[in-house]
Amino acid sequence: MTQMTRRTPNRTLRTLQREVDDLFDQFFGRTDGGDRDTSPAWSPSTDLVETDEDVRLHLDVPGMSADDISINL
């Protein structure tokens, strides 16, 4: 017996987009499960070390030099 399946290309593309979005959410640690934030902000893993003399911020940004990074407060 032959089974016919109706395919909707837009639905397939939406499903693929959702799967790719979920993959990126998992990779970048997004786990809230709510509506997706469309802001371009990305925050790398950080470690803040405070001493009597200064405050140091260590960022996990492979392939970037200190000159590539700008921190604004």
**Residue 52's pLDDT is what?**
92
Could you tell me where the DSSP H helices lie in 1-73? 9-27
* DSSP secondary structure code for residue 37 in this structure: P
Distance from C-alpha of 45 to C-alpha of 42, rounded to nearest angstrom:
10
* pLDDT tens digits, one per residue of 19-68: 888 887 877 776 555 555 555 566 778 888 898 999 888 888 888 888 88
The dihedral of CA 53, 55, 60, 66: what is its sign? negative
